[in-house]
Every structure is written in C-alpha cells, then in structure tokens.
Amino acid sequence: MAEGACDGAPAPASSNGSLCGFESLEQLLQARLPPEELAQVQRLLYGWNAGRPVQALPLPLAAAAAAEAAKFDLQAYRFEAAPEQLRPPRLVRIGLIQHGIVAPTTAPFAEQRQAIFDRVRTLVDAAVAAGVQVLCLQEFWACPYFFCTRERGWCEFAESAEEGPSTRLCQELARRHNMVIVSPILERDEAHGGTIWNTAVVVGNNGNVIGKHRKNHVTRCGGFNESMYYMESDTGHPVFETSFGKIAVNICYGRHIPLNCLTFALNGAEVVFNPCCTLGGWAFESLWPIEARYAAAANSYYMCAINRVGTEAFPNAFTSGDGGPAHKELGPYFGSSYVAAPDGSRCPSLSRDRDGLLVAELDLNLCRQAEDRFNFRMCGRHDMYAELLARYVRPDFRPQVVRDPSLPAAPGSTA
C-alpha cells in the first residue's frame, strides 16, 4: 500500500485499479479510521444484518491455501435471517468470481480463451473447497471486452449457448461438483442466421443447461459500443428454479433500470446475479456500491454484483466517443464484487485490482422476512404503473403535468 497517497487533494483511482494504493475502500477506511468511527461508517455504508454487521464466514483451510497459492483475493460472509417457528433456515452458499484476462489480446484467440479457462478452473477449485453451490462468473468471462474496438474479427469468440466450449466446460464442472453455474458469454445463435447475443447460460448441478437469458439493456456510451455487435434481449425476465433456490441474471447495464430490477422480483427471484464489465473513473463507479443494495432492498431479493479487473490493451487504436484521442487500452476495471441482501445490508467488496472469489452463505428466508417488514410489494401500485406505461408507449402520450396558472405563457403556447 502507498501510505500517504491520498494526502491533500482528492486523486482518482490508480491506473491499476487500486484506490490510493489500497486494494479496496474497506482497506482504506480500516487504515485511516479509529475502530469506533469505522464501525459507524460501516453501519451506514453497509447496513446491519440481523442486528449487527454482516459476519465473516469461516472457510476450510484448503480454500484459503488455494487462494494464497494462486494469488487471488478470497473473502466469505454470512447473511442471516431471524429464526422462524414454521420454516427451517433455507441456506445456500453462492460464489462470485472476478478476474482479468490472462494472455495478451495479440495472442491467438484459442490461446486467449484457454488461458482464461485454466485460470477460472483454479478459482472454481477454491469455490468447491469453500462449499459453493451456486457460482456466477463475470460478464464475457471467456474473452476480452473487445466491443470498444468496433472490429468484427473478435466475433470469433461468439459460441453456442448450448454446445459451445464455455458451456461444455461449465457442464463438466457443474456435474463433477454438484454446482449450479451461471456462465455469461457472447452467444452465436446459428438457428437464426448466426445472430450474436449477450447471454447468460444457466447450467444445472446435474450438468444440464437449464436455460439462458439475454441482456435486456444494451450499453451505448463511451467505449461500450455493444450495439455494434448485438441488440436487446428477446427472453424477457426469466427466473430459473434450481436445486438451490430461484435465481435470475440481470446482466450489467440492466442494474441501472429500476423496472428491469423489479420484473425479476415479480417473477419470484430470490437471488439475482449482476455480471458486469464496469470501468473506474466513470459516474458508474460511484453508483456501483449503491445500485445492488438498492435493488436488493426494493425488491426483497439478494443482489450479487460481479465486475472484472485489470486493463485490456488491443492491437489497434480506437476512440471512445468522448472527444479524447484514439487509444489502445480500456480500463482499469475496478472489481469490487459484493453481495447485497433484502434487508438493505451488504458485505465488503473484493479487491479492486486482483482476481477474486467471494463466497456468501445466504438464508433465503430473509427474502420473505424483508418483504413482511417493509411491505414494498403490498404497497406497490402496479395497476397504476401499468396504466401509465401503456399510455407512455403510445405516440400520442401527454405527460401528466399540472401547471401553475399564474406562470407566464410558455413560448409557442396558444393559450
């Protein structure tokens, strides 16, 4: 850590993704605040679960040894629910994996993908040692985030959601370890002319493909030129009933859209995974600690935010639509994956600049308990929202604005 790196004027995150030389905001706060003050800051930033801060979850020594040997961040936490008289605890252990690319983007595509496969296998082995039952990988985990380049040759990374190499690997791992795996990939739909999609494949613990969901909201800002490659989803808001609970996948940009978060709840999701590729230095970085926590509390489910790490350099320079000069790098991605609970609490985040595995034990009973406590669903005026939305999508929609009659006439008004 670079002590004193943040003295004086505020500074942006370091070029490697660290925060003033610290791996995470949590480390920075722990280094600078006395324990009593730190406890109050954490209470406000992260909330309390079951009347106290989210508790650390002890893990087997084998998991910690794997993390130390492979040099990745490993953290584990427990989210509790109140004891009930008529329902036993419904515990599920989930895992979130964040990582950077391994081989340079100038390497052959097959070599790049295999290097990531090998790295992810190592992280999955640690997840197995930690007892993970449902594992989610980051958005486009098997390739670099090349959409910034607008070059078509990278489309070779697209694959079948049902039979592609990423799916086959996840099927092998899921079957061997009795684990559900969410695998966000770049899909090529051969049945429909080779159309490309941003897709999350849900592989069951028997190695079967339960189903898939395609990204509902496509990013169109800065270097995120995704609509050059694929468009919005045609799969709705599916919830997948697995051996370990009802899960959904809200891919990346969809976390910014409250109605998108709501619809997964309406379909009964208990755990929603949010695999992302999000850069530091944007407004999105300051939204990152807030959005998953808000979505979880507002919708009475667990929300799991997963980001990648590192800076990715490409062979040819590209522009990012921000008026800046052409460049070859995109990054750094700031990691910081975390889990938020329906009671408004959240755990500390993974490292900003290292690969990592976050393990969380969730009591799914907390979903109903939070809804019973806050009554958000009961208080929802879904009929009123539906009526407004039905009018809003019509070309003759007029906003419901009540204007003060004492105001001067608006320009162009015939009144």
**Has 172 been annotated as catalytic?**
no
139 is an active site residue: yes
Within 8 A by CB and 6+ apart from 215, the residues are 197, 198, 199, 230, 232, 233, 251, 252, 253, 254
CB distance 311 to 331 below 8 Å: yes
245-249 and 271-275: which strand pairing? parallel
Is 328 a catalytic site residue?
A: no
Q: Which of 23, 26, 80, 139 is catalytic?
A: 139
Between the CA of residue 104 and those of 50, 85, 108, 112, 156, what are the distances in Å? Answer: 45, 56, 9, 7, 16
d(C-alpha 5, C-alpha 82), whole Å = 43
Measured distance CA(113)–CA(141) in Å, rounded: 9
Between CA 332 and CA 280 the distance in angstroms is 6
3-state secondary structure of 57: coil
How many other β-carbons are positioned within 10 Å of the β-carbon of residue 324?
10
Q: Where are the beta strands (DSSP E) in 227-386?
A: 240-242, 245-249, 271-275, 302-306, 309-318, 327-334, 338-340, 356-363
Segments of 89-228 assigned E as strands: 91-98, 134-136, 180-189, 195-203, 209-214, 220-221, 224-225
Which is the catalytic residue, given 136, 252, 347, 367? 252
Q: How far apart are the first and last CA of the chain?
A: 66
Q: From CA 99, how far away is CA 143, in angstroms rounded?
A: 11
Query: β-pairing, 302-306 with 338-340?
Result: antiparallel
Q: Which two tokens stand for residue 83?
A: 């004891």
Alpha helices in 258-379 (DSSP H): 258-266, 283-299, 365-374, 376-379
Give the active site residue among 215, 276, 291, 312: 215
Please list the active-site residues.
139, 215, 252
